[in-house]
Amino acid sequence: MSSERDSETTFEEDSQPNDEVVPYSDDETEDELEDQGPAVEPEQNRVNREAEENRETFRKDCTWQVKANDRSFHEQPQFMNTKFFCIKESKYASNAIKTYKYNAFTFLPMNLFEQFKRAANFYFLVLLILQAIPQITTLAWYTTLVPLLLVLGITAIKDLVDDVARHKMDNEVNNRTCEVIKDGRFKIAKWKEIQVGDVIRLRKNDFIPADILLLSSSEPNSLCYVETAELDGETNLKFKMALEITHQHLQRENSLATFDGFIECEEPNNRLDKFTGTLFWRNMSFPLDADKILLRGCVIRNTDFCHGLVVFAGADTKIMKNSGKTRFKRTKIDYLMNYMVYTIFVVLILLSAGLAIGHAYWEAQVGNYSWYLYDGQDFTPSYRGFLNFWGYIIVLNTMVPISLYVSVEVIRLGQSYFINWDLQMYYPEKDTPAKARTTTLNEQLGQIHYIFSDKTGTLTQNIMTFKKCCINGQIYGDHRDASQNSHSRIEQVDFSWNTFADGKLAFYDHYLIEQIQSGKESEVRQFFFLLAVCHTVMVDRIDGQLNYQAASPDEGALVSAARNFGFAFLARTQNTITISELGTERTYNVLAILDFNSDRKRMSIIVRTPEGTIRLYCKGADTVIYERLHQVNPTKQETQDALDIFASETLRTLCLCYKEIEEKEFEEWNKKFMAASIAPTNRDEALDKVYEEIEKDLILLGATAIEDKLQDGVPETISKLAKADIKIWVLTGDKKETAENIGFACELLTEDTTICYGEDINALLHTRMENQRNRGGVYAKFLPPVHEPFFPSGENRALIITGSWLNEILLEKKTKRSKILKLKFPRTEEERRMRTQSKRRLEARKEQQQKNFVDLACECSAVICCRVTPKQKAMVVDLVKRYKKAITLAIGDGANDVNMIKTAHIGVGISGQEGMQAVMSSDYSFAQFRYLQRLLLVHGRWSYIRMCKFLRYFFYKNFAFTLVHFWYSFFNGYSAQTAYEDWFITLYNVLYSSLPVLLMGLLDQDVSDKLSLRFPGLYIVGQRDLLFNYKKFFVSLVHGILTSMILFFIPLGAYLQTVGQDGEAPSDYQSFAVTIASALIITVNFQIGLDTSYWTFVNAFSIFGSIALYFGIMFDFHSAGIHVLFPSAFQFTGTASNALRQPYIWLTIILTVAVCLLPVVAVRFLSMTIWPSESDKIQKHRKRLKAEEQWKRRQQVFRRGVSSRRSAYAFSHQRGYADLISSGRSIRKKRSPLDAIIADGTAEYRRTVES
């Protein structure tokens, strides 16, 4: 073990994973990790080290070079890569996006090549070639060509339609426009024409076409606000800021046109939160980071215009790099069907070989001595047997059903349209229907074991609503009138008395309004004043209306609530904030803003009132606020009880408090604060330490309760899916407390759930690994695997784990190698062998640990992974796929879910306000999470049942049809003579038996959609593969064999010694073929009638219509007229009319059909009576069952002191806007319009408030 530890050590081994941070970036390198030096480093050492390593580091890591306004620079030979032989192309991608597969020239060859990669299609192509050889052909060429062309044509048309849709989507994106500098001026250009190095202008509400460096904008200090909904599903705005040098000098069009900056930066990668580079301009260099980069897919908001330099374009952009590989998805039934086709191949070869041997033996014993059989060829019996082998391959080819694949495609296409047309999955508010974006996965929807769901925008609406509050120990927010009397029904509060109310808040406690207006309790007004003043929200006026921009939706909800209750935040400058207090405007001096971070879990503001008093206002999580309260707080216990009540209602809670500060105390603290603010190193730690000194002895005002609104029907959907034995895992980038709170809100977690965290299961897994290692040894591989549960059975457990713990447990932490060992190459064979063995042991240990984790997680009823990266989401999905062999579904709404959606067997995109990136990569899309229950429990289950019935019947009818040739061989010298007419063989699968089975695959249903939703347990048959497997396949095979025996031997017995009514014997070969064919068509079409559960007029018409069609076509093909026209193709002249006028023949057909079907009827009756399935029971009693059932929400069990779910207040994942506010960089006094700046350039662009 020591050698293992020496060769590779875990980065920061001794540190515990941090639950608050998202782990390292997805493709962080070992060198980057090694460069992360100690937290504290002497300043001089740092300067010296940076001076020595700076140039080497940039040469090594920053190899991507961009020259502004110089397209020829990027076409130099050193930037060209060889693509194919001597054909070269630039390493800089164009900005055009290509998702289509074909063009006008490549469609036909590429599509045919892809189709002939299918074993069945290639097999029939070979068969067609064999049929062209006269020595071995036993069937006409058209018997294979017609079905093959039909299959290839239908599939090609379907592929063409899909690809045309992709072309349209690509063109829509690529033909969007923006302004690009060309010939010294901004000109309109299409996105696909943009290249790396171009300078572009974007306006408000524009999508960003590429990854660009922000050069300047219309905002103070060239701030730019962007919405990242396409990337992460979050609708709150983020801000970016340009370099000061570009902000000052690159405002006008002529200066942007002459800009010749040079960028050296990292190669294109998938790290959304990181960027490393340097801008060289005017003989100076300027460091670049992610705060200066605008990413493709984001939208410009609240910024009139901005300018940028294209750094990465097209496929090189971070959003495209994050999309992961497009995987070709196939269903479980697809794989099973292919294996079964291979099985049929083997059976076909064995049968053909056996019959060929039989023919060789027959030729040797009989054929050679029968003068009347001499065909003029002096072939040996063995050679004749060889030729007959290929002859039987042709005759028995219908065992491998060529029309199977095209029939499957038609059924899937129809089922996809049913999903698209389902009005119960249509979302009228956004005019968004459900969409099946693929037609190949429908039946897999009926086999899902695990669902992996994003949280923000998928389970929740990402809309925060102020619901309740506790002020001075009193809870407000219930349905009460102004006299404090409770009412079950009451009108919502009318805020018309408040001129600043936005009219969006639905509140029903009239008593709170009475308290605010009367002013009897000063704490009530103080409470809402705190909400109006203690925040980092930015305010703007649009058409005279206040418009708030918050760093998090929670903070926006609280400030909006204060506004509606009469305390409106109106404006701010660098050091003042203006509040309207019940109509009276008051301005307060802001002395300090103590911003939020994930460690502090609180924020504070220190203001000086117009009266001269200094106050600190603070809001934060109760766990940190209660530690800092003054000893004398009379409402402390009442507030804690209120927090417990809010938590039991799954509301997100937050405590509010304040304190008075003496002038002298503030002056002393302010000196420390100013010193910490300019600290050269460890500034954040120094500030946090200073903040701690002032945030103590606080007076508790109360608590807020915000509802993170779930989408409608989420708890009901999760409950139904759980009853269907589908496990739901939530994978989110949110904080642990937030994710846990949503877990309770959507009832993934309940009060009786035992929650395990990362640290808990880490110990369990470590113990399990030790036990496995102790059990291991020389004989370990010969012992049967022992499955030991991690938890005692019967308990309801859930796992909540953060991304950092996930990396720790799965041994996915980034590693750094010892620099000594890094340079030490193995010098001997023994060293090389030991190193290889060590590496293998580490890999084996990692694999075993991951398997143990999956086993443990799957024992839990729910799993929530929080603070995870997009790559980790995909890794969790892949682990379950790999170790559980389970069918997975991933559902999300943002670009951070794309990798997960592509990794799962089925990906579902939520199409809504959060952008379309997830939808574009998904297999199915709809607008609301609740539609997932209908997609799986109705469409998925029906599709699975229909496909299974279709396949079982299809194999049966083909075996019954083809194996008649086998029995016939014993009576024709194994001569590969067919038992049917050639045209019957050609049309059997195409016309005579195709429509009923297609309609069953499209329309059949065992129970209605309402009963499917009412009884989710019906779904389990798909998860367990009960309706189609090798057992069912062999049952169909045996059924087909028995049917073929009956079809052949009963007519054979009837024909042995027979005389017709006219005294002639009807026992000729052609009449015999017609009798068997007629009995076959009636049998297989009546058989599908027995298999049909849901009868419609269309089903009945197809069954009887197919039989009628058969007789109609047969009489036509056997007529004298068509024989005269095509004498060689139609040789059964008059057979049908001669044979079928004999009652004896009809009695033979009726007897054959009865013997085939009556045993099936008897078996079905016995099985439904003695061993009925769940669906049989529901069908039997469906008239008594109600059509619908109202889902009853589980009663909440309130327990005092439940603190595990409180304080789920989701501040922004980054710091707020406090540094912008306090520095004055975001404050605008006057702004010149864009046209004025471009026209004369003389107007002053912006002014900042002087300190």
Angle at 970 between CA 967 and CA 975, to 5 degrees: 105
Report whether 292 contacts 867 (CB < 8 A). no
Task: Count CB neighbours of 1109 within 10 A.
Answer: 16
- Residue 922 is given by DSSP the state -
Beta bridge mates, 1087: none
Task: Tell me if residue 581 falls in helix, strand or coil.
Answer: strand
Output the CA torsion 843→848→851→855 (10° steps).
Answer: -160
Q: Could you tell me which residues are beta bridge partners of residue 588?
A: 577
Does 206 participate in catalysis according to the annotation? no
The Cα 1119–Cα 1130 span in angstroms is 9
User: Which stretches within 116-260 are classed as H helix?
Assistant: 119-131, 142-174, 229-232, 244-249, 253-257
Q: Which two tokens stand for residue 580?
A: 């309207």
CA distance 1172 to 1167: 6
Can you name the residues that pair with 816 across neighbouring β-strands? 9
Distances in whole angstroms, Cα of residue 904 to Cα of each of 378, 435, 872, 934, 1153: 62, 18, 13, 19, 47
821 sits in the region (left: phi over 0; alpha: psi -120 to 50; else beta) called alpha
DSSP state, residue 1093: S
Measured CA to CA, the distance from residue 982 to residue 986 in angstroms comes to 6
Q: 450 - beta bridge partners?
A: 727, 888
Of the candidates 26, 206, 211, 454, the residue annotated as catalytic is 454
β-pairing verdict for 80-84 and 924-926: unpaired
Which residues, including other chains, have CB under 8 Å from residue 461's CB and lie 6 or more apart?
709, 710, 711
DSSP 33-94: HHH---S---HHHHHHHHHHHHHHHHHHH--EEEETT-GGGGGSGGGEEEEETTEEEESSPP
Pairing of strands 450-453, 888-892: parallel
* 3-state DSSP assignment of residue 99: coil
Instruction: Quote the CA–CA distance of 143 and 990 in Å, as a whole number.
Output: 11
Closest CA to 1134 of 1123, 1146, 1144: 1123
Instruction: Give CA–CA dist 791/303, Å, rounded.
Output: 55
Element (H, E) at 583: none
Using CA atoms in the order 115, 121, 125, 130, what is the torsion angle rounded to 10 degrees? 170
Unique residue bearing structure tokens 């790099």: 321
What is the chain's Cα-based Rg? 38
Give me the active site residues, please.
454
